[in-house]
Every structure is written in structure tokens, then in C-alpha cells.
Structure 1
Amino acid sequence: MVETEALHLTFSKGQRVEVSINEEGFNGAWYTATIITPLQPQDPKSKTQNFFVEYHNLMEVDNETPLREQVDFAHIRPSPPKEEDPTFGIHEEVDVFWNDGWWKGEIVEVFKDDMFVVYFSNSNESTEFDRRDLRVHLEWINGRWLLPEEVRRMKQLQQQKKKNLKPQNVEGVDQLTIVSKRKGRPPKVKAMSIIPSKNGKEFLDLKACVVEKVSHVPSEEHLKIEREQRKLVNDPLTHKKLMSCIMKPPTKKDDESNS
């Protein structure tokens, strides 16, 4: 008996299983088979387990010898449990034994003589079947057999969980400011940009330079403004003009020009 480490399941020699075949014309169906022997992986560190199986309904080229082949564990599942005397209704998902395998379909029409019309979405066709060819559809997920409604409910819960864990979009600066304060960092606030002219005239007329909030790291623009202001203040001619403007009271001509 070989124990798989992936799902902690066991498949043993002689066990009846179902196998999926990842080839064109076989995709979507499960084929009944028997485990002939478990195969040891070539790499001792590999966790992939292969099995040698014999199919019940798939034959070799001679159409007489049952087909045998090596199958990866990921394509094998146990045989589903049988339900005694199941009932089927319209729009119910079922498994149908068709073309040597069990195919998933949906009942689209029900007749009184236990005949059903089943629609197959993979081939986009509908076919009539006897009740004996149908069985309850079950999904093998994480080592458990689940009904279709249980699978849908599980997927809805997973989607809801992902939705709740998804970070919310930040809208507005207030939220950013709160986060910054909580982390002990000053919030990033956009500073006012005041660029004086190089000839000094606009600088002399400037009454005050007000910057409400500036980032804790000076930008290149701030450093440029500081250099230009120092250059203008340290210039003798500019300093003389500035002092004369401060000491000299405004004249009537200046008042008229300002108005």
C-alpha cells in the first residue's frame, strides 16, 4: 500500500478507481479502472506517485485486451459511493455512462418511462438516456465527495473570504495622514511654490514668503529658492534698495501708482 503525501490518501493493488485522461476526445470523462501496482518514483525526493492501471472499458487496438497504462496520482480518484434508487429531476447535474466513461451533464427533459434527455456542455449536444445510465454527480475535492450545491457553496465562501481580505482603496489624504502619524512619520503635505525673479524687483515688492507646510526632507526646488534668496539679500546693491524701501515712507506718487 502506498500513501500519497499530497492528500494523505492511499491506493492499493486491486483497488477500483476512476481515471481522467488529459487527451482530446477524453477530456471531461472519468474511466473506471483497477490499480495493478503502485510505481516507485525514479527520484527518491519526488512526491509524485504513479500507478499502473487497467481500464475496464477502454481496449487495446485489438479491441479485446483491456488497456493498461501508467497514470499520475493527480488523475486518479476513488470510485464514488453508489446511491440506492436515486431520483433525478429537471436541470439536475448528473453523471452519464457514455462512450466508455462517465461524463458530466445536465438533465433538460424528463419522460415518464424513466428516460432522460441530457445536455453535455463540453460537446454542446443533447442525447437521450435510460435511467440505468445515470448516477448522482459528485465532486472529489480535498479527499471528500461533495454534491454540486456543496461545491457552489464552498466557492461562494472562498470568494467572500477573498473579498473581505482584499485591502480597501484609500480615498482622501486624511486616511494617509492617519497612517503616517501612527507610524511616527510626518504626513506628506504639498508645499506652496514661490519662485522670486532673478532681477530682484519682484523680490523687493514681496511682503512675506509664506509656506504653510513643507515636507521634512527639503526638495531641490526649496533649496533653489533658498540659494536665490540668499544671493539677493547678500548683494550690496539689493540690500541698499531693500533698506531704502523700508526706511523711506511711501509718497503720494507711489500711492497713486499702486491704486
Structure 2
Amino acid sequence: MTLTARKPARRRSEVPADVRRALSSGELESANLIEWLIVDQVALLGTLLEQLELDAHARRVLAAARPLKRKGVMQRVTGIGALLHALTESLSLRERLRVRKAILAHRSDMVRAWGACLLCAEKHVALPERLAKMRPLAADAHFGVREIAWAALRPHVAHELDRALRLLEAWARDRDPNIRRFASEVTRPRGVWCEHIAVLKKDPGRAAELLEHLRSDPSRYVRDSVGNWLNDAAKSRPDWVKTLTRRWLAESQTQATKAIVKRATRGLRDRAGEKSRETS
């Protein structure tokens, strides 16, 4: 069996040595979250710099990257993305474009994820242009690249929230389920491995128009995200989520809407069950 046709391990300790080497040298994409977590990102960075013929910068960049080994995985990803951004900014325009193009098209999903962080580290970029640059990564075939893409863009969305919500409505209507899911994930009130969007925790109704486009989505991948979005909101605004989901069920009789509402209200049901047991 080839490495590309392998069955991914369920535990870190079960990842074979040859798979670890291939992941950390950029020769192989991770097949699941376990493999994604065990990539030696500093070793991969060294390989990337050699591939890009940036050996003159390698010692300095790797010295700055090594302390990231003691950080969490998201800090390693964003930290290396920031280092690559700083490196490209020191290059000539022609070299900068060459290097960025190579990173964004790299075989390794982890390198492309760094590319998402690199793009989001750029300053003085208007939000519509930033979204356009991120779109290929939001539609990437690999789950890890897509997740890092929305996480990296999220601070910019939070900074210009109302404008972002209007721009993302078109994404919520897109034919690609990866793009539709991105519109949901990047605006979640709480999210995973990221800072919360305080405004949406307090007033989730500001994203109502975007969510309306997704209330009966044919893709389970998207439906799960919308359900999680509303479950986030229900932790601080249960009244709003109850009103919204009741209306959705009254107006949309599809199984897709019912699945979203079931996922969205799981926290509400759990809390209702706890209160019932306390009073019994």
C-alpha cells in the first residue's frame, strides 16, 4: 500500500515513522486531525525554505521559529505564517510574488495553511480584496487549510463585522459547500480555537440575513456548521435562538432545516433537562 492510500491512524502513537517523515518534509498531506497535529512544523519550514531557494534566510527564520515548538498547534501555524510574511516583505516584489505563489500552491496542506496566515498578516488591505485572496483557500480540498483560512481571517471579519456580513452573504449562496461553510464558520459567535466575537454573542441577529441563506442547506458539512453557529449563540442569547428556530421550522418543512435546528438546540435541551432533574 502506498502512503497516499494509507488508512490514517486514530492515535498519535500509531502514526508510522515513514508517514511522520513524509508529513514533516512536505511530501504528503495529512489524512486526519491526528496526522495534522503531529507534523513537525519547524522541520517542514526548513524544507520549504530550501525548496524555495531561500537558504540565505534559513538560519534567521528557523531560529525565530524554534521557540514555537513549545506553543500550541494554532500558535505554531499562525507564528510560522507571520514569519513567512515578514520574510516575503523583505524580498523584491518579483521574489515576493514567486514565493507566495509557491506557498499557496504547495503540496503540503500545512504549508498552504501557513499561506492563509501569511495573507491575513498583510496590512492595509481592504476587506473585499482580503476575502478575494482567501477564497481559493476557503475552497481548498483539504479540511485543515479551510479551517486555518477562516480562523486567520476571523479578526478582520470581527473588525469590520457588518461589512463582512454583507459581503459574506454572496458566499452563503455559493454553489461550493466549502465556501458556504466558510461564511458560517468565520462568523461563529464563539468558534473553536479562536477568539469569540463579542458583538455576535450579545446580538446574533446581526447575522440573521446570512444565516437565512443557509437554513435548509443540502450539505451536511454546511448544516453542521450552521447548527454549531446557533448553538454558540444559544449560550448567551437562548431567547433569540428559540424564536429563530421556531420560525424556521414553521416556514421550512425540509429535513435539512430540522437537522440544523436539532443540532442548534442541543445545548438548550441539555440545560432544560438539568433544570428538570433539579426540580424533580
TM surpasses 0.5 = no
TM-score (normalizing by structure 1) = 0.25
Q: Which has the higher strand share?
A: 1
Q: Which structure has the larger Rg over C-alpha atoms?
A: 1
Higher helix residue share: 2
Higher RCO structure, 1 or 2 (CA under 8 Å, sep 6+): 2
